[in-house]
A = this chain, B = another copy of it.
């Protein structure tokens, strides 16, 4: 930690050649074999390795991509981050994690910070969106890929999924099991996912007929909030099926159901959404609608690679379909 890092100029002096030749020799283009040999040796002796900042300044490229979400601890985002990292790292890109905060305003601020040019692009999954944010994304100086709503009409690259359709699949699954009194446990309606899932439930219960439907909104998408909201829901009348807007809410709901002395899935069948590992290892294992977090993360990262390579490339859209994974919490196998 005492010795200072070697610079390219020092390597050049040691090799007794010019700075230009040294750079070429190391970067591998247009240098004679003798030169390459000579410079390599000098570089090795000094333990040289190129300074990322100097290179970035000259190249106007940071080899960094930001990944921004409201809550880094959320299992869904963790999965995405892992996938993004796995795709980007082999291409020499680093991943910078950032927090959007949970308002559209704070997210807008974050997007604006791209102006300081510390990354080559940003993958963001906004919890809440408004027109200001959309505009800011459109004007961003580097490519931005949105994971969430499809935004093709606004010329923004996005990776979307049909969570409304996913809720529909869950509703039909429960109906096909003979359940006729279904409850819906949603998260905040002013969030992008909350709004979409609400649309999904409304649409599904319009075409599929139940004897009774009811719903309740949790304070946020967590187990605790799910537990409390489910208690309120169950207190209002008997249900035999419950659709939760994500796995954490579903787990809270399972606890609430059991508190009342009822069993899952015997008395109440429950579905989650996101297909998290948590839901998979839970007992009972959770029937859940996979929204392909890993796949969405990968898709976003691949779009980013293309855009980072060619910033003038047209915006790209990818849609990942939802997929129902039937497990114990609705009486499925395993």
Residues of B within 8 A of A81 (CB): 72, 97
Partner of A1, one of B5, B73, B141, B283: B141
Establish whether residues A1 and B57, one from each chain, have CB atoms under 8 Å apart when the complex forms: no
Partner of A82, one of B54, B72, B139, B254: B72
Copies in the complex: 2
Residues 83-122 of chain A, each 1 if its beta carbon lies under 8 Å from chain B, else 0: 0010001000011111100000000000001011110000
- Determine if A214 is an interface residue (Cβ-Cβ < 8 Å): no
Residues of B within 8 A of A72 (CB): 78, 81-82, 85
Establish whether residues B50 and A281, one from each chain, have CB atoms under 8 Å apart when the complex forms: no
**Interchain CA distance A124-B52 in the complex, whole Å:** 20
Establish whether residues A283 and B311, one from each chain, have CB atoms under 8 Å apart when the complex forms: no
Most buried by B among A50, A78, A258: A78
Establish whether residues B78 and A117, one from each chain, have CB atoms under 8 Å apart when the complex forms: no
Partner of A139, one of B1, B4, B113, B282: B1
- Determine if A223 is an interface residue (Cβ-Cβ < 8 Å): yes
Establish whether residues B116 and A52, one from each chain, have CB atoms under 8 Å apart when the complex forms: yes
For window 130-170 of A, CB contacts with B under 8 Å fall at: 138-143
Establish whether residues A117 and B281, one from each chain, have CB atoms under 8 Å apart when the complex forms: no
Residues of B within 8 A of A248 (CB): 281
Establish whether residues A281 and B223, one from each chain, have CB atoms under 8 Å apart when the complex forms: yes
A4 nearest CB neighbor, chain B only? B141
Establish whether residues B85 and A99, one from each chain, have CB atoms under 8 Å apart when the complex forms: yes
Residues of B within 8 A of A223 (CB): 277, 281
Establish whether residues A79 and B73, one from each chain, have CB atoms under 8 Å apart when the complex forms: yes
- Determine if A255 is an interface residue (Cβ-Cβ < 8 Å): yes
A64 nearest CB neighbor, chain B only? B96
Establish whether residues A53 and B118, one from each chain, have CB atoms under 8 Å apart when the complex forms: yes
Partner of A49, one of B99, B115, B251: B115
A65 to chain B, nearest CB (A): 10
- Determine if A262 is an interface residue (Cβ-Cβ < 8 Å): no
Q: List 30 A-B contacts (CB under 8 A).
A: A1-B139, A1-B140, A1-B142, A3-B139, A3-B141, A47-B115, A50-B116, A51-B116, A52-B116, A52-B117, A52-B118, A53-B62, A53-B117, A53-B118, A64-B96, A72-B81, A72-B82, A73-B82, A85-B97, A89-B98, A94-B98, A95-B96, A96-B96, A96-B97, A97-B97, A248-B281, A251-B281, A252-B281, A278-B278, A278-B281
Closest 9 A-B residue pairs measured CB to CB? A52-B118, A49-B115, A52-B116, A53-B56, A223-B281, A73-B82, A53-B57, A51-B117, A94-B96
User: Beyond the given A1-B139, A85-B99, could you list 10 further A-B residue pairs with CB under 8 A, ordered by the A residue number?
Assistant: A1-B138, A1-B143, A4-B141, A51-B117, A64-B96, A72-B82, A95-B97, A97-B97, A223-B277, A254-B283
A residues near B (Cβ < 8 Å) are 1, 3-5, 47, 49-54, 56-57, 62, 64, 72-73, 78-79, 81-82, 85, 89, 94-99, 113, 115-118, 138-143, 223, 248, 251-252, 254-255, 258, 277-278, 281-283, 311
